[in-house]
Structure 1
Amino acid sequence: MSIPTQITDETNSGGVFFVNFNQDCSSLSVGHRNGYKIYALQSLEGTSNGLECIHEHTGEEICIVERLFSSSLVAIVSLSAPRKLRVCHFKRGTEICTYSYSNTILAVKLNRSRLVVCLEESLYIHNIRDMKVLHTIRDTPPNQLGLCALTSSSDDCLLAYPGSSTIGEVQIFDTVNLQAKTMIPAHDSPLAALGFSPSGANIATASEKGTVIRVFSVTDGTKLYEFRRGVKRCVSISSLTFSTDSQFLCCSSNTETVHIFRLEEPKDLPKQNTDEGGWMDYLSKAVSAGATYLPTQVTDVFTQGRAFAVAYLPVTGVRNVLAITTIQRVLRLLVASTDGNLYIYNLDTVEGGDLALVKTHRLNGTSQTPESEAQQQQNQNQQQHIITTPTGSDTTGGAVLSSYAGIVKGHPAGTMSGTDSDKLHEMAAAVDIPPKDGFRFDDEEEFPPVSQPFTF
């Protein structure tokens, strides 16, 4: 997820700048004006005070906080130092290393093999086991949204980012062999969102128009699915996410609607006469028969898939991220929003349709059922939610920190935290000798070994 647009106090009293789920949707990270929090998602019933907060850091405004699976490793960027990345072991309260870059950090992506830092016109690929820079992709097309995606699986370890700033090309880069792999011509308009499937085999894309969602094979760029989000209006899509079982794809925008699409092979319609099939069946057959005589735009509308299910948010105009995952044997849609709430919906995999909001968790530790929040929502509706951007543009998540960005020549400089001998001894004591099969990042006691300063 890229850095959200600027948020006024009227928009969000919680002062939330950043929300994102970790790679396996077991936790939610929230960056806000007073620091950051990490919430556990194993039980969405939470406690009497709401979601279980497994870690909280206070003292500064955090605009990016990314957790590596269920480990204690987090990557942090603050508003006061938008060009500096800090990698920390949050359970021990230890800062492992810091890196400074030539421009504002727009996004950070990580898996068990790589950590990627996205700037507006370059990407830095680190080996997460020692945090050394393996490769730098320079002079990328201007990417003010910080759009990029990294496969959660480290087997192939693929990186995706915009290949053009004028059309919707997706560049797939192999971060293991450090070479470009595939260029996918996804849309005619510039990209607005993209996301890998859990296995990394497929990638979903959306353009600035926001009307069509496409899914491609990463191997050869073949288009596998095409869905129409809507035809009435163009929107700013901010999140594209596959379910953890890869059966569904969901998308959210600056509107109140979240669309969920089922990923299944199209089924042949049973042969039936016009009366049995109704006017839509007749129209579909007519379109199929006359496809060669109709404009492509017309036939596309009838051949694109439609949403399997729809969820309606109680707010509009705020940035959010999505997850579809099974928790306590129930498939849930989770919507974490920069309005300071986590919205929870049950997803009926048979019927689909309109999803019911079952609970809202305030990301300050409280929870509400739809009934208890009805009065509060009525009061909130009296105050219109507003998001502003530095340029007055839409709410697709532009580079809010561009005003902070200073241009510094040279390569990113990486240093260990602390320069005195006591700090070095403390860091050395926190690092074990790497086992032969590498570090297990699902173990919260382990993290990348850093035993000496890095200078570039």
Structure 2
Amino acid sequence: MIEPIAEFGTGEKIRRLGSDGSPDLQRLSCASFNQDTTSLAVGCKNGYRLFSLSSVDRMDCIHQGEESPDVCVAERLFSSSLMVIVSKSTPYRMNIYHFKKGTEICNYSYSSNILAVKLNRQRLVVCLEEALYIHNIKDMKLLKSVLNTPPNPKGLCALSVNHSNSYLAYPGSFTAGEITLYDAVNLKEVTVISAHASHVAAVSFSASGTRLASASEKGTVIRVFSIPDGDKLFEFRRGMKRYVSISSLSFSADAQFLCASSNTETVHIFRLEHHSPSADSPSWSGYMGKMFSAASSFLPSQVSDIMHQDRAFASVHLSAAGMKNISALSMIQKVPRLLVASLDGHLYIYNLDLQEGGDCRLVKKHRLYESADETPAAPELEAGGLSYAETVSTNTNQDSSSLTGYSEDGGVKRGELIPDHEFADESLRLDDEQEFPPVSFQDT
């Protein structure tokens, strides 16, 4: 089994910024919400920044780090001090930091570029183009190497945040829109879902891990499946335009709503409820609803499917199209909000009417970089440009034989300092809530 090279317990302090040492933040190379949408991490040329999402009017930067340049993956474990960082300068290495203590916990090197990292309180999953590595987050021990997966150049995968339904989803085929559902706790494949006719472009779990949303590369139809059986529950039509690139799917905390953002100027929000006309309804609308359902059964399946697809419940029209963004639904100050983080360096906050839907109202726009640091966007972030995962997958990957510790036959020689994947600091427990308490703005 091919294993990544691990380095643990360096105990070295990571370099913090001085009071006047703001990083030279340019347009963003990545952005990610944490598992409960209480913070936003962004990566840039000189490091990463972590923002609290507790207020609409303020964006408190609770941490900024420059220990790694050109950050292309920045993931936080809930509201803890645990950060996972990948840099473009060493895209095959994953660094894990305890940013409140200012220490590096460990780092792992892999045989090719890291395209995505997903984590919950039990597991940490590293996604390469043709492999997945599942680690135990308690001690970072490698539990499973899922090798020779279908080519996945965009690093597409999703990990449920619920510890009792800790499922992993990733493309199950390179020629069709299949999704492999994998049990990340018991380390076994559960099922393969035939989600779409074309390649899968986006996947996301609900907070409970009992629902999975997906979109294909065409981007016109979004489907929701029950987990773990894989039965289709909902089908939504985002629009008739073809080949729209869906950049993110995200459930609300109660799984009653689903938002989808793409490279167009519109973000769609769908309500997850079944519309079935009441059998006892004497109304004209109820009668027409039954007639509509009956008539669709005589039409070709493609037409019938379109007739049964629900439209968006609410939507947002962004000021510009073409820039990659991620969206999320959250409760901030006891009000439902739609959050859109764009790689142009802004966070947009909208109010969402849970009763009426319709057009969402923009209530605040926050800049995620400083005015003095504003520079033109890098080519990969321009409209129609490649994402980080697409960029590194088209470049020549680092030769695994040149990585220290890798043997020619694909095996790994672990260093003397990391026997049995143990930490130098034996008192450090990654699954201990007290070890990683929530961080507030005043703490840093």
Aligning the two structures, in what range does the TM-score lie when normalised by the shorter sequence? Answer: 0.7 to 0.9
**Kept after mapping to 2: 8 A contact 1:317/1:386:** no
- 1:33 corresponds to which letter in structure 2? K
- CA 1:244 to 1:262, structure 2 compared with 1: closer, same or farther past 3 Å? same
**Kept after mapping to 2: 8 A contact 1:318/1:387:** no
- CA 1:393 to 1:326, structure 2 compared with 1: closer, same or farther past 3 Å? closer
CA deviation digits over 1:15-71, x for unaligned, max 9? 21000000011110000011100001111221xxxx100100126110001000011
Distance 2:198 2:303 in 1: 18
Q: CA deviation at 1:216?
A: 0.3
CA deviation digits over 1:241-294, x for unaligned, max 9? 001221100000000000000111223164444xx78xxx86x66653333432
- CA 1:52 to 1:416, structure 2 compared with 1: closer, same or farther past 3 Å? farther
Superposed counterparts of 1:293-304, under 5 Å? 293-304=298-309
Partner of 1:324: 329
Partner of 2:3: none
Q: CA deviation at 1:351?
A: 0.8
Match of 2:63, SS state, is: strand
- Tell me if 1:309 matches 2:314: yes
Distance 1:364 1:412 in 2: 40
Match of 2:90, SS state, is: coil
Partner of 2:271: 262
- 1:28 corresponds to which letter in structure 2? L
Q: Which runs of 5+ in 1 are unaligned?
A: 1-12, 367-379, 419-423, 447-456
**Kept after mapping to 2: 8 A contact 1:101/1:411:** no
**Kept after mapping to 1: 8 A contact 2:259/2:267:** yes
Q: CA deviation at 1:428?
A: 4.5
- Tell me if 1:401 matches 2:406: no
**Kept after mapping to 1: 8 A contact 2:236/2:309:** yes
**Kept after mapping to 1: 8 A contact 2:80/2:437:** yes
Partner of 2:96: 87
Partner of 2:347: 342
Partner of 1:8: none
Identity %: 51
Match of 2:303, SS state, is: helix
Partner of 1:355: 360
- 1:90 corresponds to which letter in structure 2? F
Q: Which runs of 5+ in 2 are unaligned?
A: 1-24, 402-409, 439-444
Correspondence for 2:57 among 45, 48, 57: 45
- Tell me if 1:184 matches 2:193: yes
**Kept after mapping to 2: 8 A contact 1:114/1:125:** yes
Match of 1:350, SS state, is: coil
Correspondence for 1:227 among 222, 236, 246: 236
- CA 1:335 to 1:232, structure 2 compared with 1: closer, same or farther past 3 Å? same
Distance 2:34 2:416 in 1: 25
TM-score (norm 2): 0.83
Q: CA deviation at 1:400?
A: 1.7
Q: CA deviation at 1:404?
A: 5.5
- Tell me if 1:30 matches 2:39: no
**Kept after mapping to 2: 8 A contact 1:101/1:413:** no
Task: Select between 230-239 and 88-97 the one with higher mean Cα deviation.
Answer: 230-239
Partner of 1:450: none
- CA 1:389 to 1:40, structure 2 compared with 1: closer, same or farther past 3 Å? closer
**Kept after mapping to 1: 8 A contact 2:72/2:388:** no
Partner of 1:452: none
TM-score (norm 1): 0.81
List structure 1 segments (4+ residues) > 6 angstroms apart after TM superposition: 412-418
CA deviation digits over 1:367-415, x for unaligned, max 9? xxxxxxxxxxxxx9xx9x996599x977677522232521315256777
- CA 1:167 to 1:34, structure 2 compared with 1: closer, same or farther past 3 Å? same
Partner of 2:138: 129
- 2:431 corresponds to which letter in structure 1? F
Q: CA deviation at 1:300?
A: 1.5
Superposed counterparts of 1:383-402, under 5 Å? 388=380, 398-402=389-393
Partner of 2:84: 75
CA deviation digits over 1:152-189, x for unaligned, max 9? 11122111000001111110111111110111111111
Partner of 1:54: 62
Partner of 1:290: 295
Distance 1:433 1:340 in 2: 35
Partner of 1:369: none
- Tell me if 1:432 matches 2:390: no
- CA 1:365 to 1:53, structure 2 compared with 1: closer, same or farther past 3 Å? farther
Partner of 1:9: none
**Kept after mapping to 1: 8 A contact 2:165/2:210:** no
Superposed counterparts of 1:233-272, under 5 Å? 233-268=242-277, 270-272=281-283
Distance 2:342 2:433 in 1: 27
Match of 1:249, SS state, is: strand
Q: CA deviation at 1:319?
A: 1.1
Partner of 1:3: none
Partner of 2:156: 147
Distance 1:83 1:428 in 2: 23
- 2:40 corresponds to which letter in structure 1? L
CA deviation digits over 1:57-116, x for unaligned, max 9? 126110001000011111110010000011111111111111110101000000111100
- CA 1:66 to 1:300, structure 2 compared with 1: closer, same or farther past 3 Å? same
